[in-house]
Amino acid sequence: MPVSRHPYSAVLHPSAWKWWVCGALLLATFLNYMDRQALAVTLPEMKARYHLHEGRVGSLEMCFGLAFAAGSVVFGVLADRFGPRLLYPVVLVGWSAAGVATGFAGDAAVVGLLEWAGDEPGAGTFRWLVVCRTLLGLFEAGHWPCALIAARRVLSPADRPLGNGILQSGASLGAILVPLYVLLVRHLGGGWEMVFWSIGVGGLVWVPLWLALVPPGALVEDPASTPDAPAAAPLPPGAFARRLVVLSLVVSCLTVSWQFLRAWLVLFLRDFHGYSEDAAAVITSGYFISADVGCILVGFLVMRLVKAGVGLHAARVWAFALFTGLTAAAAAVPLLGSGPAMVAALLIAGAGILGLHPLYYAFSQELPARRMGVFSGGLAAGGWVVSAVNQKTVGEVIKATHSYDVGLVIAGLAPLLGLVALLVLWRNSPPAEPGA
């Protein structure tokens, strides 16, 4: 990469700088999930105090998901138009502010503005949370178009599964830390409110770090400055349409699987299986540690297969099939009681579900570069709409039956549909393999 276009090269060699950028993307994903997961971890306390029954929890997840879908489209367009360098800080400040605002859900003066005569108990708090979760979903959606565009512009095709795994692993790292952080806050005498505002305020530190690491012009699309950039011919309309169908099905299935367990795992362990607060926190952190391991391992697996002579596309498909099998362990959870076998199945499923995400990102990064934000945002929007409807429906089922079985079976088996679509509809042209 020419020094004149990229001032960072005076300090860091481009081969090192690209991984520093991936580290910044990991940190952004980490903050994204810290803000998102704080509610799921504090729900047992808030559920009892503010009458957040399962139907309301499902509604909150639906509002978050629909807002995320809308934000995916809006920020996808903006990311294509303005690039990720300056848009990224805007969306991060937005979701951090929404996280801070969530901490006021227990303030009588604030939620009293949203209460009316004849309301059910906790209606004001619930409405405030709807507003906060909607804004959180809207701004958090901007993270992904920015991250995928940045990763595409600094990584070669062969590096992308690992780079995507690094940025995605921030999700599990954030989710790992939240239960432990909540325990620390409680042991220090703080309440759930402190969890929200401290995470939101702390996230703002990322903005100056990002601006210092990525100077103006560093992420401008420039084929000559992209290492190992393949000279790929445009896809025929039919092949392009098939790939969009495949990616739509894959992202919908992955979003349904991941978001169900992300949102409901703590309540599943506490309310359904009777685990203590500390035990549920440890198991939840273990689940996300396993997810993080899967997320990183899938990138190394693809690179290993490619070095062994397997084509890049074939390596990705084999990895997708393997991690789909791991995800299916979630469907066995209802059969395994409450002991170690059930926990082991959850850990295996976590590794599988999150390990599939870097592969999806790598496939989606093969779409036309000039519209990467629009395509990735539109695909994410579709997945979040499907997930939002699933969360609302499953929440009502859990409320009525006091059972999580339906949600677990759906979470475990949904990626199979994506695998079938990938095997049947995706047609990889021979020229795409060498450049990888």
Length of the chain, please? Answer: 436
pLDDT value of position 45: 80
CA distance 196 to 260: 21
pLDDT value of position 369: 64
pLDDT value of position 436: 36
CA distance 418 to 246: 7
Alpha carbon 259 to chain centroid, angstroms: 8
Residue ranges of the chain whose pLDDT lies below 50: 1-12, 222-232, 430-436
CA distance 238 to 228: 27
User: pLDDT digits over 358-387, tens only?
Assistant: 899 888 877 776 777 777 788 888 888 898
CA distance 329 to 342: 9
Residue 296's alpha-carbon distances to 66, 122, 164, 183, 293, in angstroms, are: 29, 41, 9, 27, 5
Q: In degrees to the nearest 10, what's the CA dihedral of 120, 126, 127, 129?
A: 180
Residue 10's alpha-carbon distances to 4, 21, 144, 166, 224, in angstroms, are: 10, 16, 29, 25, 19
pLDDT value of position 345: 97
Q: What is the b/e burial string over 91-102, where b = at least 16 CB atoms within 10 angstroms of the residue's CB?
A: bbbbbbbbbbbb
pTM of the model as a whole: 0.73
211 burial level (CB within 10 Å; 0-12, 13-18, 19+): middle
Query: Is the separation of the CB atoms in 192 and 52 below 8 Å?
Result: no
Q: Which domains does the chain have, with CATH numbers?
A: 12-217+235-430 (1.20.1250.20)
